Chain A
């Protein structure tokens, strides 16, 4: 008599699927979490465009333009690797520290998907401004074990 009875699960011949989660961060100069500098932006007040909003904050500080703000705030002047933060910051409101907001906005606008270019033109897009990132730079001597 032929029945549809199957003595073993259908995947028995191919084995049982198993998986293991692997995660690791290889970064020799990794700093501890509280000391990391994160760049993010979220404003509580309404504004028409990122650029105008940033400019208004800069003017409020008594600075002329983006370039002056960059110099005053000591923004990183070398290329960095951009890494998206895994632990996202909840709510951050502007007005608490305008300088912090200016710094974050300037850095975010200069960050492409993978690289922070200090010399490239600033782009104030939603995609860039809504990221939460960290900037990292490899220390050559440490990475290659060279004195």
Chain B
């Protein structure tokens, strides 16, 4: 819809990916056969966004063309550059065409522009979008090009730095309408004017994207983590950097899909994640490509684990909504992956109230530790909080309104009165842990409005843990 408005045809299935790439501002690699208009795509988009644009043929360019002539001024340590028309200092969008054929001499410079947005340490402040193109690796070394160029694969380390990696559409992937429309409007005549719709859409989503980078949706993070683990287990190498790219891409795609204009087509989360996954893997830049059926199988598996087939009742969402005792029970669900549990637990820990998380930690830490339910990162978080509860040492602060008739802290005396009313007196475990929990909350500036409710909830959690422990012992014995 957006791309058609500016006269770009054939990229419809990848439209959301392209918009997501504009949102992330990370380098994008477009792979395709010759003549698929891949290098001009950013030119059309730059025109729509009103950005200054340059296309650089990486195979033919040289350092001086990109930087201009370096000059050392008298008595100064700084180098200045005499800029020419071909230098890239002021451009806001750049495309490096045929990046895999870059001369070794220029490689350092081009990769520093692409991935670090700088030239010899001088930053390119205006530069926003850096895309690159390369030929389809299926055509490599088949002598089909007129000059019989020696095709070279890109360095693996380099490919890892690209955010999205997409395939340019060929004639076969054009729809019938597009084929006809293309001939009617002329393929090479995109609309050359600023498109306010594009600018508003991108500007609206950018702050949201920055915000979500700090607190990503747990389902997206879970999916990225699951897919990475499954692929690595299955022998497909996915680096940590790539998995972070995956998550960032999913966040951007999700935002684009969520804010897609109402008249347009919104995809369901499953299709969207599959699209994001296919367009984020680095393997397509190399010789051994991943078969689509493998990707789909992995995707289905991850979806089943995280979204539990029915996309509304996902495991993580269910965990977050469940009560504390249910949460403890769910953590011991052996069908669920340990990493997923840990990720969910960390999410819960960061987004729950102090009372809620302290209850879970205080009651369940020992059995979670003993049965090795969580990974190291989550367990470290858990232990840190547990230590604070076990060793309380802090100030209880309040305001006394009448010095002559001091009443003390009403909340604390209310809590003490409740604890003393518990059956068994002060020697019982229930009293001791209730006491400990109350002073932990009070010294952490938490107001206990209903001590009875808090204590009973805590006691329920402890009873749940007791049951689990007894059950585990029975299983061990049998």
**Hey, which bits of chain A sit against chain B, CB under 8 A?**
14-28, 79, 81, 83, 112-115, 117, 138, 140, 143-146
Provide a sorted-by-A list of 11 A–B residue pairs whose CB atoms are within 8 angstroms.
A15-B401, A16-B401, A16-B403, A18-B409, A21-B394, A23-B393, A25-B390, A83-B391, A115-B380, A140-B370, A144-B366
A103 → chain B, closest Cβ, in Å? Answer: 23
Choice from B366, B397, B403 contacting A140 with Cβ under 8 Å: B366
User: Is A20's CB under 8 angstroms from B409's CB?
Assistant: yes
Q: Roughly how many angstroms separate A28 CA and B433 CA in the complex, as a whole number?
A: 10
| B386 neighbours in A (Cβ, 8 Å) | 81
Bound-state CA distance A126–B179 (Å) is 69
B212 CB within 8 Å of chain A: no
Which residue of the partner chain, among A15, A16, A19, A22, contacts B439 with CB atoms under 8 Å?
Answer: A22
How many chain-B residues does the 8 Å CB contact rule pick out?
A: 44
Closest B residue, CB atoms, query A25: B391
Say yes or no: A22 contacts B469, CB within 8 Å. Answer: no
Shortest Cβ distance from B470 into A: residue: A146
B399 touches A17 (CB 8 A): yes
Q: List residues of chain B with CB under 8 Å of any chain A CB.
A: 365-367, 369-370, 376, 379-380, 383-384, 386-387, 389-401, 403, 406, 408-409, 412, 429, 432-433, 435-436, 439, 442-443, 462, 465-466, 469-470, 473
Give the distance in Å from the alpha carbon of A13 to the alpha carbon of B270 in the complex. 58
Query: Roughly how many angstroms separate A14 CA and B400 CA in the complex, as a whole number?
Result: 9
Partner of A18, one of B365, B376, B400, B462: B400
Q: How far is the CA of A30 from the CA of B277 in the complex (A)?
A: 52
A18 to B376, CA, bound (A): 41
Is A144 a contact partner of B384 (Cβ separation < 8 A)? no
B354 to chain A, nearest CB (A): 16
Contact A14 B399 (CB under 8 A): yes
User: Which residues of chain A have C-beta atoms less than 8 A from B379's C-beta?
Assistant: 115
Nearest CB of A to B61, in Å: 46
> Which residues of the partner chain B approach A113 to less than 8 Å between Cβ atoms?
380, 384
Does B369 contact A79, Cβ atoms closer than 8 Å? yes
B442 CB → nearest A CB, Å: 7
With contact pairs A115-B380, A145-B429 given, residues A20 and B403 touching in the complex (Cβ less than 8 Å):
no
